[in-house]
């Protein structure tokens, strides 16, 4: 385990509120529950989901998430579930078996959000014009 304060994540995570629906599957792939929630943050590798009820860490989630004008369906493994604020629950989800299209949408969503931050990563923005041109 890395020392406290050392980031373990491979992907940049951004704070974002996006509605999503989910279906919980048990180890045999049987549907055991459904619900709605919202993302608190998201990256190319996973998300933090806020719900009204706790989600068992043994479950696999099938999620449908709206990201700007895109809609993706993605599968994830519950990494943890903890009590959050105001009686709500926070569930960490690591993505599994994502399609190439879902991966592209996630990466572009995160990049666009980073570019919009003050002092954000503007690498995909056009270079500034030289003076006198």
CATH superfamily of 14-116: predicted glycosyltransferase like domains (2.40.10.220)
For 49-58, what is each residue's pLDDT tens digit?
999 999 998 8
| Spatial contact of 110 and 43, defined as CB atoms under 8 Å apart | yes
Give mean pLDDT, residues 22-33: 94
Whether residue 3 has pLDDT greater than 60: no
Domain boundary assignment for the chain: 14-116
Whether residue 14 has pLDDT greater than 90: no
| Spatial contact of 2 and 8, defined as CB atoms under 8 Å apart | yes
How far is Cα 93 from Cα 124, in angstroms, rounded to an integer? 28
Give mean pLDDT, residues 111-130: 55
| Spatial contact of 61 and 33, defined as CB atoms under 8 Å apart | no
How far is Cα 40 from Cα 131, in angstroms, rounded to an integer? 42
């Amino acid at each position: 385990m890395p020392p406290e304060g050392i980031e373990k994540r491979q992907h940049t995570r951004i704070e974002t509120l996006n509605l999503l629906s989910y279906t919980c599957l048990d180890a045999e792939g049987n549907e055991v529950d459904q619900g709605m929630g919202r993302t608190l943050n998201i990256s190319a590798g996973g998300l933090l989901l806020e719900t009204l009820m706790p989600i068992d860490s043994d479950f696999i989630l099938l999620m449908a998430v709206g990201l700007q004008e895109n809609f993706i369906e993605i599968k994830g493994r519950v990494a943890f579930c903890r009590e959050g604020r105001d009686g709500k629950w926070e569930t960490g989800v690591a993505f599994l078996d994502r399609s190439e299209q879902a991966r592209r949408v996630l990466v572009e969503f995160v990049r666009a959000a980073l570019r919009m931050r003050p002092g954000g990563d503007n690498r995909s923005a056009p270079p500034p014009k030289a003076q006198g041109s």
